[in-house]
Structure 1
Amino acid sequence: MVSSSRLPSPWTVSYGQTFLVLGSLLICFLLLLFIRQLVKQRRPRGFPPGPTSLPIIGNIWSLASEPHVYMKNQSEIHGPIFSLDLGGISTVVLNGYDAIKECLVHQGDVFADRPSLPLFQKMTKMGGLLNSRYGRGWIEHRKLAVNSFRYFGTGQKTFENKISEECMFFVDAIDEHKGKPFNPKHLVTNAVSNITNLIVFGERFTYDDTDFQHMIEIFSENVELAASGWAFLYNAFPWIEILPFGKHQRLFRNAVEVYDFLLKLIQRFSQGRMPQSPRHYIDAYHDEMEQSTGDLGSSYSLENMIFSVGELIIAGTETTTNAIRWAMLYMALYPSVQDKVQREIDVVVGSCRPPGLEDRLRMPYVEAVLHEVLRFCNVVPLGIFRATSENALVRGYTIPRGTTVITNLYSVHFDEKHWSNPDIFSPERFLDSQGNFVRREAFLPFSLGRRHCLGEQLARMELFLFFTTMLQRFCLQFPAGFVPSLTPKLGMTLQPLPYNICAVRRQQ
C-alpha cells in the first residue's frame, strides 16, 4: 500500500512552470505598456501634422543635437505650426514670427499655461514663478516680482548708479589681467548676478565669494541638463527615476543642493526685517505671506519663495551673462565693428565719465550691435515651454487643452521673410539710411504675450551699461593664433564654448 504522504499534490508546481507563468505575466504587462504608449502617441483629430515618430520614444532623439535648427527645418516641410511626439507627450511647435504672434498675442490667455511635465513637477511642484500654472499662483508671484523690480530696481533712479558701480567693479577686475588672456565667463557671471542680487537680497556678493559662485555654477549646469536627452526621457518615462545613473539624477542632486543654499540665504537676509518696510524681494515676500495667513487659496509659502528666488537669480543671470559673453566674442571677431562702437562711445561719452542710460538715444550703432547679438546668437532659442489652458483653434488645427507648446524663437530671428541674409552678422540691419536706430517687429529675444520676460527692461539696462563701460576702457582681441568656435553649447540657453580673450587698455 502506497503511503499517502508520497502522493503528488495538485498544488505542487515546478520551478520551470513558475518561471513560465511569471514570464508570461511580464510579457503581457510589457505588451500592455507598449500598446498604451502607442495609443498615447496617436495624434488627436485635427492636430497639426509632423515628422514620422519612432515607437515608444517618438521624436526625442531628433532633439539631441540643435533642436531649434531641427524644428526650423521641419517647419519648411510641415508648415509653421507642426507637431512632435516626445515619447507620448503630444507637442506643438510654433515657428516664424507670424505664427508665434498669432498664438501668444492674439490668443494670449490660451497659450499662457505651463505643461505639467514630470520634470517641472519634480523640480518646483509647478509652483514658484517661471514654472507655475496659469492661474492665481502665477498672477500673485508675477505681480510681486514686477513690483519688486520697480520698487527696488528699474523704477528707482539710484538703481542705475548701482549698476554703474558694478560695472566699475567689473572693469577693474578685468584690468587685473593686464591685457593677458583670461576666460571671462565667471567674471561676467558674478557681475551680472549681482544686479539681480541687489533686488532679491538688497546687496551684492564679492567676486571671491566661493559659496555663491558654486551655487551659480550648478544652477547654470541645471539649465544645460534640463534640455538634455535624459530630461526629455524623464518627461516621457518618469519611472527611470529608479535608475541610479543618468544626467537627470545629477540635475536632481544639484537642485537639492541649490535649494538648501537658497534657504540659508533667505534666512540670513530675513534677519532684522520690519513688517511692511521691505528692503528687498525677500522682505516683500514675507509681507505677502503674513497678509495671506488664513487664505487657503494663497500660493505664498516658504517653499514657493525658495523656488521663485532661485528662478529670479538664474533667469536674471544666465541670459544676460551669455549675451555679454557672445558680444565680447563677436567684438574680438569683428574688429571693425568694435572700432565703430568705440568711436561712438568716444564722441558721445568721452573718457572722463562712465556711460549712462541717457546716452542710449545718441548711440544708435551700439544699440544696433546689441540687438544683432541678441538676434544672431539666440540666447534662449526655444523660450520656456508653454501649454494651452483650454482647447485652441489655430489656422484650422485643433490643439487640445494641456498640450505642450514650444515657441521656436530661433526661427523668428532667422525668418527670411523678415530678415535679409539672416545667417550674416550685420548690425546695419537695425539702422536706416541716415544711421538712425530702427526697431524691427520680428525681434523676440524676450518672447511675447503673458509669459514674456519680466526682466526685459533690466536686461537691456545691464547689456548697455556693461557693454559700453567695458569697451570705453578696453580693446578686446583673441590671443595670438587662437581661433574661436562659434558653435554654441546646447541647453535651455545657447552659450559660447569656453574661450580666452585679451582686454587691452585703450590709449585715450
Structure 2
Amino acid sequence: MLLHTLASFLAAMYEKTVLYVCTLLSTCFILLVIRQLVKQRRPRAFPPGPTPLPVVGNILSLALEPHVYMKKQSDVYGQIFSLDLGGISTVILNGYDVIKECLQHQSEVFADRPCLPLFQKMTKMGGLLNCRYGRAWIEHRKLAVNCFRCFGRGEMMFQKISEECMFFIDAIDTYKGKPFNPKHLVTNAISNVTNFIIFGQRFTYDDHDFQHMIEIFSENVELAASAWAFLYNAFPWIEYLPFGKHQRLFQNAKEVYDFLLQITEHFSQGRVRQSPRHYIDAYLDEMEQSASDKATSFSRENLIFSVGELIIAGTETTTNVLRWAILYLALYPNIQEKVQKEIDSVLNGRLPTLQDKQRMPYVDAVLHEVLRLCNVVPLGIFRATSQDTVVRGYTIPRDTMVITNLYSVHFDEKYWSQPASFCPERFLDSTGNFVKQDAFLPFSVGRRHCLGEQLAKMELFIFFTTLLQRFCLHFPQGVIPSLRPRLGMTLQPLPYSICAVRRQQ
C-alpha cells in the first residue's frame, strides 16, 4: 500500500514537472518570437521594402541570385530600399547614382562594418577587411597600403608578375592543346603574385598544403554567402545544431587559421628589425613598435586574420576575372582575333610592359567589359553606417547594415545600353580610343574601396596579354559551357574545359 502511494505521488510529481517544463519552454519560445517580431519593425522614416515573413524576414528570397533579386526589387521600391534578414534591418543600395551619393559623398558614414555573428565568429571583427571603422582599420589599412606600395608596385613587381606568367604559360604548354580545366593553374598563378607581397616568395603549383588552403578559402567564399550564413547571423544559436553549411564554414576557418599560423611563423624566421622583406616582417615591426601601447590593434591574432584576408582578396577576385575572360574570348572568336591582332601589332613578339597598355585600347576595353559584365563581387563586402544619416529623405540609424549592389551599377540601363550583352566597344570612342565610364565600380568606391585595385589591373593586363599572345583558345569540339555563375560572395564560372593551342606567329 505504501509503495503504491509513493508511486502515485512520484507519477503526479513527474506529470507536474513535465507540465511546468513544457509551459516554461512554450513561454520562452513565445517570448523569443515576440522579441524577433519586435526586431522586425522598421525604424521610423526607414526605407520601404518587401513585406518580410515572420521571424525569418526576407532571408529566403536571397537563396538564389540575391543580386538579381535586389535589382528587381529596386524597380518596385526605388534605388534605396530595405530588407529584413531575420530581424537585421538592412538597407540595399541599387544603381550608380545612389551608391555614388552614399559611398563617395558620405564616405565616412558608410565606412563601417556590421557586427554580424558570422564575422565575430570568424575574425572577432579584427584583421583588415572586416574590422570596424576606427583606429584598428586605420592602422591596418595604412600598413597594407604601404606594403602594396613598397612590395607590390614598380619595376620589381612587374618583373615578378612576368616571371609568374612564364610559369603559367609553361604549365599550359604541358597540355599540348588538349582540353583542361584552367581553374587550378589560374588560381595558383594569381595567388603567387599576392604571395610575393605577403611571404616574399611563390609556391609551386604542386605544393599540396598550399593548394589545399586555397581550395578551402574558395569554398568558404561560397559558403559565406549561403542561406545558412544569413540564418546564422539572424539566429546564432544554430551554431549548436550538428548539421548545416555553417558548420563546414567554421571547420574550414579553424583549419586555415592553424595553417596560416604555421607559415607566418616560418616566413618570419631570419627577420631583421626595420628591414622588412614582406608584409609579415612589416607587421611584426609594427607590433614591436606599439608593444607599450595598450590600445594598439596589432597582434599575432590580427596578423593571421590579415594574412588570410589578403590572400582571399588577392586571389579569389582576380582569378575569377581571368577565368571569365578566358571563357568569353573562347566564346567570341571574333573578339579574340581582334585582341590578338592588336597584341601582335604592338608587341611584335616581345613580352608586354606596363607602358604597352596605353597602346592597346581594345585589350583594355575587353578587360573592362569582362569586369563589368561578370560582376565578380556583386554585393561587395557588407557595410554599416558609422553614424545616423539621411539619404533621399530616408533616415538610416547608426550601425545599420548596408549592402551595395554593384551588379545593379553595371546593369544600370541609365548608363549602359543593352547591359546583358558582351560588348567591349562600349569602352571605346568613335576613333577607337579607350574611354572611361562613370558607372564602372568593380573595385567599389569610397574609403573601403579595394586597396589592391592597381595591382589587380596590372596582373590582369600582363596575364591576359601574354596568354592571348601565345595561344588560341577554344572549347572542345561540340562543347559550349554555361555562362551561369556559381554563387557565393564572388561569382565564378562553373567548371569548364578549354583548349589552348600554340599560335603560329
Instruction: State whether TM-score is above 0.5.
Output: yes
Q: Note the C-alpha offset of 1:16.
A: 2.1
Counterpart residue number, 2:65? 66
Aligned partners of 1:301, 1:329: CA distance in 2, in Å? 42
Counterpart residue number, 1:146? 145
Equivalence map 1:77-476=2 (5 Å): 77-154=76-153, 156-351=154-349, 353-476=350-473
Q: Note the C-alpha offset of 1:25.
A: 1.2
Aligned partners of 2:8, 2:263: CA distance in 1, in Å? 69
Q: Note the C-alpha offset of 1:17.
A: 2.3
Please, which runs of 5 or more residues in structure 2 have no aligned partner?
A: none
Tell me which of 469, 477, 481 is aligned to 1:480: 477
Q: Note the C-alpha offset of 1:472.
A: 0.3
What SS class does the counterpart of residue 84 from structure 1 fall into? strand
Aligned partners of 1:127, 1:368: CA distance in 2, in Å? 37
Amino acid of the residue matched to residue 137 of structure 2? W
Aligned partners of 2:376, 2:9: CA distance in 1, in Å? 71
Counterpart residue number, 1:50? 49
Q: 1:290 to 1:10 in 2, by over 3 A?
A: same
Q: What do residues 26-68 of structure 1 show as CA deviations (whole Å, max 9, x unaligned)?
A: 1111000000000000000010000011001000000000000
Runs of 4+ in 1 over 6 A off after TM superposition: 5-12
Q: Note the C-alpha offset of 1:494.
A: 0.1
Q: What do residues 57-116 of structure 1 show as CA deviations (whole Å, max 9, x unaligned)?
A: 000000000000000000000000000000000000000000000000111111000000
Aligned partners of 1:41, 1:304: CA distance in 2, in Å? 34
Aligned partners of 2:53, 2:98: CA distance in 1, in Å? 27
What SS class does the counterpart of residue 293 from structure 1 fall into? coil
Q: 1:65 to 1:12 in 2, by over 3 A?
A: closer
CA RMSD of aligned residues (A): 1.5
What SS class does the counterpart of residue 485 from structure 1 fall into? coil
Counterpart residue number, 1:22? 21
Q: What do residues 176-198 of structure 1 show as CA deviations (whole Å, max 9, x unaligned)?
A: 10000000001000000000000
Q: Note the C-alpha offset of 1:14.
A: 3.2
Q: What do residues 315-347 of structure 1 show as CA deviations (whole Å, max 9, x unaligned)?
A: 000000000000000000000000000000000
Q: Note the C-alpha offset of 1:8.
A: 11
Aligned partners of 2:167, 2:14: CA distance in 1, in Å? 74
Aligned partners of 1:388, 1:199: CA distance in 2, in Å? 32
Tell me which of 489, 499, 502 is aligned to 1:502: 499
Q: Note the C-alpha offset of 1:18.
A: 2.1
Aligned partners of 1:12, 1:335: CA distance in 2, in Å? 81
Identity of aligned residues (%): 75
Q: Note the C-alpha offset of 1:12.
A: 8.7
Q: Note the C-alpha offset of 1:9.
A: 11
What SS class does the counterpart of residue 134 from structure 1 fall into? coil
Report the TM-score when normalising by structure 1: 0.98
Aligned partners of 1:14, 1:274: CA distance in 2, in Å? 73
Aligned partners of 1:271, 1:423: CA distance in 2, in Å? 51
Amino acid of the residue matched to residue 505 of structure 1? R
Q: Note the C-alpha offset of 1:11.
A: 10
What SS class does the counterpart of residue 379 from structure 1 fall into? coil
Q: What do residues 207-252 of structure 1 show as CA deviations (whole Å, max 9, x unaligned)?
A: 1111100000000100000000000000000000000111000000
What SS class does the counterpart of residue 393 from structure 1 fall into? strand
What SS class does the counterpart of residue 14 from structure 1 fall into? helix
Amino acid of the residue matched to residue 61 of structure 1? L
Amino acid of the residue matched to residue 196 of structure 2? L
Q: What do residues 396-442 of structure 1 show as CA deviations (whole Å, max 9, x unaligned)?
A: 00001100000000000000000011011100000000000000000
Aligned partners of 1:374, 1:477: CA distance in 2, in Å? 21
What SS class does the counterpart of residue 504 from structure 1 fall into? strand
Q: 1:6 to 1:182 in 2, by over 3 A?
A: closer
Aligned partners of 1:7, 1:152: CA distance in 2, in Å? 81
Please, which runs of 5 or more residues in structure 1 have no aligned partner?
A: none
Aligned partners of 2:268, 2:238: CA distance in 1, in Å? 39
Q: 1:13 to 1:69 in 2, by over 3 A?
A: same
Aligned partners of 2:7, 2:502: CA distance in 1, in Å? 96
Aligned partners of 1:237, 1:459: CA distance in 2, in Å? 37
What SS class does the counterpart of residue 386 from structure 2 fall into? coil
Q: 1:475 to 1:31 in 2, by over 3 A?
A: same
